[in-house]
Amino acid sequence: MRAPLAKVAIIIPLIYFLFVTGEFLTLTAVTLSLTEAGYSAFAVGSGISALWLGLFTTSLLAHRIAGRFGLAGAFCGASLLAPIPLVVIYLVPSYPIFLLGALSLGLAGGIIWVTGESWLVASVPADRRGLYVGLFETSVGLGMVCGPLLLAGVLRLELPPLPFGIGLTALAALSALPLLKLPAPVAPALPSDGAVPLRATSAIFVIAALSGLMESGTSGLLPTVSVRLGASVEAAALLGTVIGVGSAALQLPAGALADRFGSSRLILGCWFVLAALGLLLLGTAESPGLALWIAGFGFGGAGGAVYTALVIDLGHRLSGPALVRAMGKTVTSYTAGTMIGPALGGLLFDLGGLPALAGAITAGALAGGALSLAPKRPSDSQTAHRGETG
């Protein structure tokens, strides 16, 4: 890679790590506080869903924002705005402010996500795109781990957690500033650029939504579920790290496998794992114990690997504005799943406990597997002939 592109491949994952760490620390702290204050699982889940509603909204518009301000301008501007909602949540601690702050954080996060990921995917070599995307997703997974883990340490020291989340997002914003000096990637001419079959992309977007439902849609809910099943707040905070551990540990090998075998086989295997984990929770619903932690690890790893494979797929087939548009739609679909997941999961848990929640997870994984068995998706032929698409 040329030097500017090498900087992109380093700085963007670093920013995502800091941003996700601060985000998960703050949201986990607030949701646990709401749970202790007696709010229902539905109310807590709705607060998390507000974040994903913001992400959903701006991911739809990210390609227009990037077209107006450029990838660097949009990415850095949103990064600078991200700490502001956390400051407001800290200064005015109330449920309505939490909803508004989570929504605002999501609005900034959607722009950061789409523009940063598009920039990275377009900048790395095609024959190693899976590896670099896997490394990037690993940094996100590490943030999911470190946020709740840092929260557990802060709670043990009896310190207020939100200033730490604010500081991390502010550091992410400062880290983004060097990107303003770097050139945007040059879009190569790809045979499939802009000519994506509607049927294929529809399947990709539905699979992305189910991936979000499985990975991030469960991460915000598992800690409050564990508290309602009798765990301590400290144990619940540590449980929140388990999904991030799975994501951090499995995204790099998932990217390498996608480079070698194509994304369809990887995605189908992930759905099989997720369905098995749903059945595990269903079978141990009376006393889940260790099963809850095993399932959390699997949700982070396999759920995240589905999304990783889809990003690799788009990078092989698209470039330029077409890539940013498709990435925005994929992120929108993913966030639709994460937005619906916590509130829907909380409602199911309120109505039927862990069996209802586990049954819904299993059904979602089976639906994803059925879609993956549909007519061949474009990524496999593109992945098998990377030299033609790079």
Report the amino acid identity of residue 100: L
pLDDT tens, position by position, 230-282: 877 777 777 777 777 887 888 889 888 888 888 778 888 899 999 999 999 89
Distance CA 352, CA 292 (A): 17
Comparison of pLDDT for 191 and 71, the residue scoring more: 71
**Do 311 and 324 form a contact (C-beta atoms < 8 A)?**
no
The CB density around residue 217, as the number of other CB atoms within 10 Å, is 32
Picking from 58-62, 317-321, 342-346, which range would have the lowest pLDDT averaged per residue? 317-321
Amino acid at 108: A
Q: Virtual CA dihedral for 11, 16, 18, 20, nearest 10 degrees?
A: 180
Residue 373, helix vs strand vs coil: coil
- How far is the C-alpha of 53 from the C-alpha of 154, rounded, in Å? 28
Provide the whole-model pTM: 0.75
Query: Which amino acid, residue 126?
Result: A
The rounded radius of gyration (Å) of the Cα atoms in the chain is 19
How far apart are the C-alpha atoms of 201 and 209, rounded to whole Å?
12
Cα dihedral across residues 257, 141, 99, 363: positive or negative: positive
In this prediction, residues 345-374 reach a mean pLDDT of 87
Handedness of CA 250, 251, 252, 253 (dihedral sign): positive
Instruction: Say what percent of the chain tops pLDDT 90.
Output: 17
374: left (phi over 0), alpha (psi -120 to 50) or beta: beta
Phi, psi angle pair for 196, to nearest 5°:
-95, 125
- Please write the tens of the pLDDT for every residue from 84-115: 999 999 999 889 999 999 999 999 998 998 88
Instruction: Considering only residues 382 and 17, tell me which one the structure prediction assigns the higher pLDDT.
Output: 17
Which residue segments constitute the domains of the chain, with CATH numbers given?
Answer: 3-389 (1.20.1250.20)
Residue 169 pLDDT? 94
What distance lies between CA 380 and its chain's CA centroid?
A: 23
